[in-house]
Structure 1
Amino acid sequence: MENSSSTLSYFFIIFFFLVSFLSSRTVVLVNCLSTDGQVLLSLLKAAKDPYAKSSSSSFVLSSWNTSSSTPCSWQGIYCSPQQRVISVSLPNIFLNLSYLPSELSSLSSLQLLNLSSTNISGSIPSSFGSFTHLRLLDLSSNSLSGPIPSELGGLTSLQFLFLNSNRLSAKIPQQLSKLSSLEILCLQDNLLNGSIPKQLASLVSLQQFRIGGNPQLTGEIPAELGLLTNLTTFGVAATGLSGVIPHTFGDLIYLQTLAIYDTEVFGSIPRELGMCSELRNLYLHMNKLTGPIPPQLGKLQKLTSLLLWGNFLTGPVPDELSNCSSLVVLDVSANDLSGEIPGDIGNLEVLEQLHLSDNALTGSIPWQLSNCSSLTALQLDKNQLSGTIPEEVGKLKYLQSFLLWGNSVSGTIPAAFGNCSELYSIDLSRNNLTGSIPEEIFSLNKLSRLLLLGNSLTGRLSSSVGKCLSLVRLRLGENQFFGPIPEEIGQLQNLVFLDLYMNHFSGELPSQITNITVIELLDVHNNYLTGEIPSSLGELVNLEQMDLSENSFIGEIPWSSGNLSYLNKLILSNNLLTGPIPKSFSNLQKLTLLDLSSNSLSGAISPEIGYMTSLTISLDLSSNRFTGELPETLSRLTQLQSLDISHNMLTGRITILSFLTSLTTLNVSYNNFSGPIPVTPSFRTLTSNSFLDNLLLCESIDGSTCSAHLTRRNELKSAKIIALVAVIVTFVSIAVMATWYILTRKNRYEFEKSPGIVAGSYGYIAPEYGYTVNITEKSDVYSYGVVLLEILSGRSAIEPQIGDGLHIVEWVKKKMGSFEPAVTILDSKLRGLPDQMVQEMLQTLGIAMFCVNSSPTERPTMKEVVALLMEVKSPPEEFGKTSQPLINQSTHS
C-alpha cells in the first residue's frame, strides 16, 4: 500500500514539474517576439472580434503567429533587411477596431500605413505625428471622427495622405502646410468646416488636392493656390465655398481635372482657363456662375468633358468649342444661353453626349449634328427651337436618347428614326408636329420611352405598336389621333405608363390591356370611348392611377375595381355610368383621390366610402342621382381636403361632416339637406356657394339664419315654381302698396312722435322701425316676405294658432330649426300637390325668408326678388293640377 502511495506521489510531482516547464517555455516563446511584433498585437486588442468566422480578417490574422521571433512573415506586414516593420498594409480587411491604437507610433521605421476600409472608429491619435519616416498614411473609408491632429504636420517625409470618407470635423490644420514632400492630399467626404488655409500654397510638390464633399467648408478659394503649379487634380465640389474662381488657376499648366461644382461660387468663368492645355475634365456645374462661356475654352485640345450646366450663363454657345476635338461630353444645359446651335459642333467626331436643354436657344436643329457619328445622347429640350427635325438624324446609328420636348418644332416625325437601332428614348412632346407616327418607329426593338404629348399628330395608332416590346412609357396624349385603340397594345408586357388622353379615340377600351400586368398609369380621359368598363381591369394589380373620365362609358362600375389595392387616383367622371358605388371600394386603402362626378350613379352613398381613410386629396360624387342620407362612416375621412356632393338628391342632415376637420373645399349645394350647418372652424372658412339651394339648411343651431340668406349673391337656379307665381307677384305687390300706405300715411306721425317704439313690431312692419323713422325700400321687402309666408303657410302674420305670441317670421324660423320636415310649414292643402310643385313652393319659402332677414342690408331689392321668383316660375301646362289651392289659401282650416 505504501509502494502504491509513493508511486502516485512521485507521478504527481513529475506532472507538476512538466506543466511548469511547458508554461515557462510558452512565456519564453512570446517574449521572443520582437518589439515591433508586440506593437502590432495592439491591433488585435483594439479589435472587437478579430477572429470572427464571418470576418474577412480571420484569414489574414490567422497568420499572425505569436511564436514567431518577428512579424515579418505575417500577412500584410513587410520588414526591412534589419527585421524592422516598414509597411503595414491591411486594406479592406474587416478589423472592426473600436479605436486606433496609439502604440502604433512606436513603429519607428514605418514608411507605409494603410488601414483603409477596415471599419475603424474613434479618433486619429496625435502620436501619429511621430512617424518620421512615413511616406504614406491611408486611413480612408472608415468611421474616424474628431479633428485632424495638427501634429500630422510633423510628418516631413509624407508624400501621400488619404483621410477621405470618414467623419472628421473641425478645421483643416494650417500645420499641413509643413508637409513639403506631399504629393496627394485627400480630405474629401468628411465634416470639415472653416476655410481653406492659404498656407497650403506652400505645398509646391502637391499634385492632387481634393477636399470636396465637406458641405460646411466655407470661404473663398485662395488665389494663392494658383502657385501649386504641379497640380493635376483640384476638387472642391459639394462644399459651401463661395467667391470667384481665381484667375491664377490659368497658371496650372499640368492641371487635368478641375472640379468646382455644387458650391456657392459666382462670377464669370476665367478665360485664363484656356491656358490649362492639359485639362481633360472641367466640371463647373451647379454653381452661380454668370456671363458668357469664354471662347478661349476652344483652345483645350485635350478636353474630354465640359460640364457647365445649372448656372446662369448667358450669350451664345461659342463656335470655338468645335475646336475641342477630344470632347466626349458637352453639357451646358439649364442656363440662359441664347442664339443658334453652332453647326460646327458637327465637327466633334468623338462627341457622345450633347446636352443643350433648358436654355433660350433659337433657330433650327443643324443637320451637321449628324456628323457626330459617335453621338449617343442628343438633348435639346426646353428651348425655343423651330423648323423641322432633320432627316439626317437617321445617320446617328449609336443614338440612344433624343429629347426635343418643349420647343416650337414643326413638320412631321422623320421615318429615318427607324435607322437609329440603339434608340431607347424619344421625347418630342410639346411641339407643333403634325402627321402620323411613322411605322418605322415601331421597328425600334430597344425603344422604351416614346413621348409625343401635346402636338397636333393625327391618324390611327398602328397595330405595329405591339412590336415595341421594350416600351415602358407610351405617352400620346393631347393630339388628334382617332380610330380604335389597337388590341395589340396588350402585347406590351413591360408598359408602365399608358397616356392616350385628349385625343379622338373611339370604340371600346380593348380588354387586352389587362395583359399588361406591370402597368401603373392608365389615362384615356377625354376621348370618344364607349361600351362598358372591362371588368378585367381589376386584374391590373399594380395600377396606381386610372383616369377614364370624359368618355361615353356605360353600365356599372365593375366590382373588380376593388382589387386595385395600389390605386391612389381613380377618375371616372363625365361618363354615362349607372348603378351604385361598388362596396368593394372599401378595399382601396391607398386611394387619395376619387372622382365619380357627372354620371348617372344612383342609390345611397355606400357606407364603404367612409372606410377609405386614405382619401386625403378629393372625393367628388357631384352631379349624379344619389339619394338618401349621408352615411355616418363619412366621419372617418378626417384627412380629406375637398368634398363635393352637390347636384344630387341627398337628404337629411350634414352635421356628420363636422368631423372632416381637414376640409378646405366643400360643396353640398343643390340637394335637399336640412337642419343646421356645423359651426366647426373648417366650416367657418367656407363661402355661401357651398350650401346653395338647400332651403332647409340653417346657418346656426337655433335656425335663426337660414340658407335663403346664403343665396344672395347667386341666382336661385332651381327647376321651376308653382304655376301661378305671376298671381303671387301681383298679389304681393298690392299688399306691399297697402303696407306702404299704412306706414307712410296713417302711422307716420305716430312713429315720428315715438321713435323708441319696441323693435320688431308684429304684422308687416320691419323691425328697424323700432329704431328709426327712415322708410326705405328694404322695409317694403320685409313686408313683402311676410305676405309670401302668409300665402305659403295659410296663416296670418299674427294669429292665436301660431301660439306663444310668435310672429309668423319667428314661427317659420323655429320650424326650420327643428327636426320636422320643412313641408310641414306649407298649408296642408298645398302638400298634396305634385312633388315638383311642392319643391318649388319650398324654394319660394326660401325667397320669403331671404326677404324677412332681420338686417336690412342683407335683404334683396324688390327687383332682385322678382328676378328670383321668375327664375323658378314654370309654365302652367307642365302641371296636372291648377293653382286653385293657392287662391283659397287665405282661409286656413
Structure 2
Amino acid sequence: MTGTPPSFSNSNPQHPIWCSWRAITCHSKTSQITTLDLSHLNLSGTISPQIRHLSTLNHLNLSGNDFTGSFQYAIFELTELRTLDISHNSFNSTFPPGISKLKFLRHFNAYSNSFTGPLPQELTTLRFLEQLNLGGSYFSDGIPPSYGTFPRLKFLDIAGNALEGPLPPQLGHLAELEHLEIGYNNFSGTLPSELALLYNLKYLDISSTNISGNVIPELGNLTKLETLLLFKNRLTGEIPSTIGKLKSLKGLDLSDNELTGPIPTQVTMLTELTTLNLMDNNLTGEIPQGIGELPKLDTLFLFNNSLTGTLPQQLGSNGLLLKLDVSTNSLEGPIPENVCKGNKLVRLILFLNRFTGSLPPSLSNCTSLARVRIQNNFLSGSIPEGLTLLPNLTFLDISTNNFRGQIPERLEYAYTLQVDEKSDIYSYGVVLMEILSGKRSVDAEFGDGNSVVDWVRSKIKSKDGIDDILDKNAGAGCTSVREEMIQMLRIALLCTSRNPADRPSMRDVVLMLQEAKPKRKLLDSVLGRCAGDNVVVGGDIPLPQKPIADQC
C-alpha cells in the first residue's frame, strides 16, 4: 500500500480487475470497492496512509494479523465506514484522535491489542454505534461517564484492561444494551444500582474486578438476563432472594467472593439454569432440595463453603448432569441415586464431607466418568465391581471411608487407591512381579485391560510358563537363582490373591522372605558368575556364605 495510489474511479467501471480479487467486494452497479477483508493473512508492519484513497469502503477488516505501532489515523478519512475490525493485532500506542469522522460507524472491534492511555471519549459522538469492543488492551484510568450516552449501543466490551476507579452509574443509561463485559480490571467501590435500568441486558460480566459491597437486589429487575458473572470479587452479604426473578438466567457464577448466609430457595425458580457456581464463599445452611429438580442444570459447583444437610436427592434426574463438586462442606446423607442418569457425568467431587450410605449402583455404569474424588467421608458398603471397568476414568480416590468386603482387583491394582493393609500387600506383590519378570506393571503385551498380575496368572498355567515369566537378565539362567526367584514368585502370587482374606499379613511376608534367603555365595563382591551356566549376575548386598555343590 505504498507508492502512487491506484486511480480506481477512472478505471473501467464495467469489470475492473480488482473486483475479482479475493479480499475485495465491489458494488454491483458502480464497481466501487465497498469491502476490504485482509483478516488472518499473517500481515505485519504498519498500515500505509494510502488507505485513505479507498474512500467508498463500507467494511474494513484487518483482524488476526500482526500490525504494530500507532494505529493509522488515515483510516478515519474513510467516512463511509459502517464496520471496522482491527482486533487481534499489536497496535501499541494511545488511541489517536479522529474517529468521530466515522459518523455512520455501527461496529468497532479493537479487541486484543496493546493500546495504552485512557479510553477514547471521542467514540461517544458516534450516534449509530451498536457494537464497541475495546477489551484485551492496556487502557487505563476510569470508565468515562460519557460512555453511558451511546443511544444505540447493544454490545460493550472493555474487559481485560487496566481500568480503575468506581463504576460510573451512567452505564445504567445505555437503554439498548444487551451485552456488558467489563471484568478483569481493577475497579473500586460497589455495584451501582443504576445497572438495574438495563432492562434489555442478556449478558453481564463484572468478574475479577475488585468490586466490594453487596450483590444488589435490584439486579432482579434484569428479567432478560441469561448470564450473570460476578466471580472473584470482594462481594459480601447474602445472595438476594430477587435472584429468583431472573427467569431467563442460564449461567450464574458468584464464586470466589465473601458471600454469607444461605443459598436462597428462589434459585429453584430458575428453570433455564444450566450452570450454578457458588464455590469459595462462606455460605451456610442447607442446599435447597429444588436445585435437584432444575430441568436443565448440568454443572453445580458449591465447594469450599460451610453448607450442611443433604444433597438434593433428585440431582441428576434430568439426565444432563456433567460436573458436580460440593467438596469441603459439612454435607451428610446419601449420594443421590440418579447422579449419573443419562451417563454424562464427567466429574464427581464430594471429598471432605460426611456422606453416608453405599455408592449408588448407577456409578457402575457411568462410562462418562473421568474424575472421582469421594475421599474423607463415611461411605460404607462394598465397592461396585463396575467401577473398575469405567473406560474414561483417570483419577479415583475413595480413601478414608468405611467400605467393607472384597476390593475389586482392578481397583486394588491402582496405586492411588488406599483402603487398608491388604491393598498395600497387593501392591507389594505387583512390585515383586515387576522385578522378577523385568516387565512394567501395565503393558500392551498383556492384552487390553490386563496387568502383569493377569499375565503371570495366565503364564503359570502353561508348561514352560515359569521360564517365560522369570527375567533371564536377573539371573534366571542360573539354577540356584532361578529357585530363589520361584520362591519370590510364590510370595508375589500369595500377595495378589483375588480374595483379600487369602493374602498374608506384612509380618507373614517378612517371615516368608527370611525363609527364602539366598543360600548361594556371592562371587567377586559385586559381579559374579553362575558356575557352569555362564550367566552374569550382579549384586552389591553381602549374602550369607554357605558353600553348596551347585554354587553361583
Structure-1-length-normalised TM-score? 0.48
Conserved? CA contact 1:629–1:653, under 8 Å: yes
Within the candidate set 14, 20, 33, 1:207 is matched to 14
1:334 Cα deviation after fit:
1.2
Alignment correspondent of 1:233: 19
Matched, 1:319 2:126: no
Alignment correspondent of 2:239: 485
Matched, 1:413 2:220: no
Alignment correspondent of 1:536: 290
Q: What CA distance in whole angstroms lies between the structure 2 residues aligned with 1:650 and 1:339?
A: 64
Matched, 1:380 2:164: no
Alignment correspondent of 1:629: 382
Q: In the alignment, residue 569 of structure 1 is paired with which amino acid?
A: K
Alignment correspondent of 1:459: 213
Q: Does the C-alpha gap of structure 1 residues 372 and 757 become closer, same or farther in structure 2, counting only changes over 3 Å? A: closer
Alignment correspondent of 2:123: 369
SS in 2 for 1:360: coil
Q: Does the C-alpha gap of structure 1 residues 396 and 852 become closer, same or farther in structure 2, counting only changes over 3 Å? A: farther
Report 1:26-41 matches (<5 A): none
Q: Does the C-alpha gap of structure 1 residues 347 and 845 become closer, same or farther in structure 2, counting only changes over 3 Å? A: farther
Q: In the alignment, residue 669 of structure 1 is paired with which amino acid?
A: Q
- Higher-Rg structure is 1
1:615-645 residue CA offsets vs partner (Å, 9 max, x unmatched): 2x22222222333431123245223233222
1:743-802 residue CA offsets vs partner (Å, 9 max, x unmatched): xxxxxxxxxxxxx997799xxxxx99xxxxxxxxxxxxxxxxxxxxxxxxxxxxxxxxxx
Q: Does the C-alpha gap of structure 1 residues 466 and 859 become closer, same or farther in structure 2, counting only changes over 3 Å? A: farther
SS in 2 for 1:556: coil
Higher mean displacement: 470-479 or 594-603? 594-603
Q: Determine what percentage of the aligned residue pairs are the same residue.
A: 28
Q: What CA distance in whole angstroms lies between the structure 1 residues aligned with 2:134 and 2:110?
A: 5
Q: What CA distance in whole angstroms lies between the structure 2 residues aligned with 1:330 and 1:851?
A: 82
Alignment correspondent of 2:416: 667
SS in 1 for 2:212: coil
Q: What CA distance in whole angstroms lies between the structure 2 residues aligned with 1:295 and 1:444?
A: 40
SS in 2 for 1:418: helix
SS in 2 for 1:581: coil
Q: What CA distance in whole angstroms lies between the structure 2 residues aligned with 1:454 and 1:850?
A: 60
Give unpaired runs (5+ residues) of structure 2: 1-10, 444-450, 458-477, 519-525, 527-537, 542-552
Within the candidate set 408, 425, 430, 2:179 is matched to 425
1:584-628 residue CA offsets vs partner (Å, 9 max, x unmatched): 33524322222112222233323221132332x222222223334
1:564 Cα deviation after fit:
2.9
1:305 Cα deviation after fit:
1.7
Matched, 1:443 2:197: yes
1:445-491 residue CA offsets vs partner (Å, 9 max, x unmatched): 00110011222111100110110011011011111111111111110
Q: Does the C-alpha gap of structure 1 residues 639 and 757 become closer, same or farther in structure 2, counting only changes over 3 Å? A: closer
Alignment correspondent of 2:267: 513
Conserved? CA contact 2:422–2:503, under 8 Å: no
Conserved? CA contact 1:634–1:656, under 8 Å: no
Conserved? CA contact 1:410–1:431, under 8 Å: yes
Within the candidate set 330, 342, 346, 1:592 is matched to 346
Conserved? CA contact 2:159–2:182, under 8 Å: yes
Q: What CA distance in whole angstroms lies between the structure 2 residues aligned with 1:439 and 1:453?
A: 17
CA RMSD across the alignment: 4.0
Q: What CA distance in whole angstroms lies between the structure 2 residues aligned with 1:858 and 1:521?
A: 60
Matched, 1:650 2:403: yes
1:817 Cα deviation after fit:
4.5
Conserved? CA contact 2:215–2:239, under 8 Å: yes
Within the candidate set 364, 373, 385, 1:610 is matched to 364
1:235-290 residue CA offsets vs partner (Å, 9 max, x unmatched): 425xxxxxxxxxxx9xxxxx9469xxxxxxxxxxxxxxxxx995432222232222
Q: Does the C-alpha gap of structure 1 residues 374 and 620 become closer, same or farther in structure 2, counting only changes over 3 Å? A: same
1:427 Cα deviation after fit:
0.6
Q: Does the C-alpha gap of structure 1 residues 544 and 505 become closer, same or farther in structure 2, counting only changes over 3 Å? A: same
Conserved? CA contact 1:277–1:299, under 8 Å: no
Q: In the alignment, residue 22 of structure 2 is paired with which amino acid?
A: V
Alignment correspondent of 2:325: 571
Q: What CA distance in whole angstroms lies between the structure 1 residues aligned with 2:138 and 2:517?
A: 62
SS in 1 for 2:393: coil
Q: What CA distance in whole angstroms lies between the structure 1 residues aligned with 2:270 and 2:540?
A: 61
Conserved? CA contact 1:701–1:817, under 8 Å: no
Q: Does the C-alpha gap of structure 1 residues 612 and 811 become closer, same or farther in structure 2, counting only changes over 3 Å? A: closer
1:423 Cα deviation after fit:
0.7
Q: Does the C-alpha gap of structure 1 residues 400 and 811 become closer, same or farther in structure 2, counting only changes over 3 Å? A: closer
Within the candidate set 153, 174, 196, 1:399 is matched to 153
1:845 Cα deviation after fit:
8.2
Higher mean displacement: 317-326 or 810-819? 810-819
Conserved? CA contact 2:196–2:219, under 8 Å: yes
SS in 1 for 2:161: coil
Q: What CA distance in whole angstroms lies between the structure 2 residues aligned with 1:432 and 1:656?
A: 53
Conserved? CA contact 2:27–2:33, under 8 Å: yes
Q: What CA distance in whole angstroms lies between the structure 2 residues aligned with 1:847 and 1:528?
A: 50
Alignment correspondent of 1:266: none
Q: Does the C-alpha gap of structure 1 residues 673 and 598 become closer, same or farther in structure 2, counting only changes over 3 Å? A: farther
The total of aligned residue pairs comes to 474
Conserved? CA contact 1:652–1:673, under 8 Å: no
Q: In the alignment, residue 376 of structure 2 is paired with which amino acid?
A: S
1:851 Cα deviation after fit:
11
1:184-234 residue CA offsets vs partner (Å, 9 max, x unmatched): xxxxxxxxxxxxxxxxxxxx96835xxxxxxxxxxxxxxxxxxxxx45733
Conserved? CA contact 2:238–2:259, under 8 Å: yes
1:371 Cα deviation after fit:
1.9
Conserved? CA contact 1:277–1:301, under 8 Å: no
Q: What CA distance in whole angstroms lies between the structure 2 residues aligned with 1:506 and 1:493?
A: 23
Matched, 1:283 2:32: no
Q: Does the C-alpha gap of structure 1 residues 408 and 659 become closer, same or farther in structure 2, counting only changes over 3 Å? A: same
Q: What CA distance in whole angstroms lies between the structure 1 residues aligned with 2:229 and 2:125?
A: 30
Q: What CA distance in whole angstroms lies between the structure 2 residues aligned with 1:682 and 1:557?
A: 42
Q: Does the C-alpha gap of structure 1 residues 413 and 859 become closer, same or farther in structure 2, counting only changes over 3 Å? A: farther
Alignment correspondent of 1:355: 109
Q: What CA distance in whole angstroms lies between the structure 1 residues aligned with 2:510 and 2:231?
A: 47
1:810 Cα deviation after fit:
9.8
Q: In the alignment, residue 189 of structure 2 is paired with which amino acid?
A: G
Q: What CA distance in whole angstroms lies between the structure 2 residues aligned with 1:372 and 1:582?
A: 55
Alignment correspondent of 1:558: 312
1:582 Cα deviation after fit:
2.5
Within the candidate set 676, 684, 692, 2:442 is matched to 684
Q: In the alignment, residue 73 of structure 2 is paired with which amino acid?
A: D
1:505 Cα deviation after fit:
1.1
Q: What CA distance in whole angstroms lies between the structure 1 residues aligned with 2:441 and 2:378?
A: 25
Q: What CA distance in whole angstroms lies between the structure 2 residues aligned with 1:850 and 1:294?
A: 83
SS in 2 for 1:306: strand
Q: What CA distance in whole angstroms lies between the structure 1 residues aligned with 2:514 and 2:184?
A: 54
Conserved? CA contact 1:508–1:530, under 8 Å: yes
Q: What CA distance in whole angstroms lies between the structure 2 residues aligned with 1:614 and 1:463?
A: 39
Structure-2-length-normalised TM-score? 0.75
1:858 Cα deviation after fit:
12
Q: What CA distance in whole angstroms lies between the structure 1 residues aligned with 2:189 and 2:203?
A: 20
Q: In the alignment, residue 36 of structure 2 is paired with which amino acid?
A: L
Conserved? CA contact 1:592–1:614, under 8 Å: yes
Alignment correspondent of 2:373: 620
Q: What CA distance in whole angstroms lies between the structure 2 residues aligned with 1:814 and 1:256?
A: 80
Q: In the alignment, residue 353 of structure 1 is paired with which amino acid?
A: H
Q: What CA distance in whole angstroms lies between the structure 2 residues aligned with 1:302 and 1:334?
A: 25
